[in-house]
Amino acid sequence: MFSNHDIELIAEILVNSKYLVAFTGAGVSTESGLPDYRGPEGVWTLRDKGLKPKLPRKPISEIEPNSGHYAFVDLYELGILKYLISQNVDNLHLKSGIPLEIIAELHGNHALTKCLDCDARFTKQEIGWDDLIHGKGYRTEKPRSDQPKCPHCKSRIISSIVNFNDPMPEKEIIESDNQSRKCDVMLVVGSSLSVYPAAELPVIAKRSGAILIIINKGPTQLDNLADVRIEAKSGEFLPKVVEQIRQLKNS
């Protein structure tokens, strides 16, 4: 369990940072009712044991952001958070109010499609995509003539989700690498840091001179590299950090 000292320490580091970049994993969304992947009840943990993974209680489109997601919005609005890198495909960061221009979603977003040629992003509503009619639109699926085309260049539209064996999105990878080298503090939240190449980004940040903070329930692959390691749920810990930062700014 975290302490008041932990809250004060993280708040002080963040409020004094010049360029904070956050990196989030599935653990940020567990408090919204979504499973993580490598936790005790995670999707891959249960699968590896031959057990059936637990499913969300309602469709992913109906899942709402939790207090952890909104804490990142608060950090952005306070002028502290400069960029957010996420492994999550659940759309909850964007739904919470994080601007599209300051986030890289390394594994895509279930609510967004993209053009294979010009890389433009569209919501399914914007281009009239209906999964029941047009399918999921995954890269590996055979394209269908009835699927909507890119409004800009008329090329093929696919789901932005990155499935196994799909190439990582080049634009997001390059920008995430640049942001990791640029930051003076990287705040990792809710990730076991076991999926590469994404998990290499905190290493790049650390080697570039950044302070590395890891907040997670359960061990991560990079605990030995962290300058500060906090065992906590994001929805319980981060709002208290934001509250402490407000006090520091008003004092």
Catalytic residues: 107
What whole-number distance in Å separates Cα of residue 202 and Cα of residue 192?
A: 12
Q: Which residue is listed with tokens 């990878």?
A: 173
Q: Beta-carbon neighbour count of residue 85 at 10 Å?
A: 26
Question: Given strand 157-159, what is the order of strands in its sheet?
Answer: 121-123, 112-115, 157-159
Listed as own residue / partner, the contacts of 111-115 with beta carbons closer than 8 Å and 24 or more positions apart are: 111/61, 112/160, 113/137, 113/157, 113/158, 113/159, 113/160, 114/157, 114/158, 114/159, 114/160, 114/169, 115/150, 115/152, 115/153, 115/155, 115/156, 115/157
Length of the chain: 251
Q: Which amino acid is at 13?
A: I
Tell me whether strands 20-24 and 103-105 are parallel, antiparallel or unpaired. unpaired
CA–CA gap between residue 248 and residue 216 (Å, rounded):
24
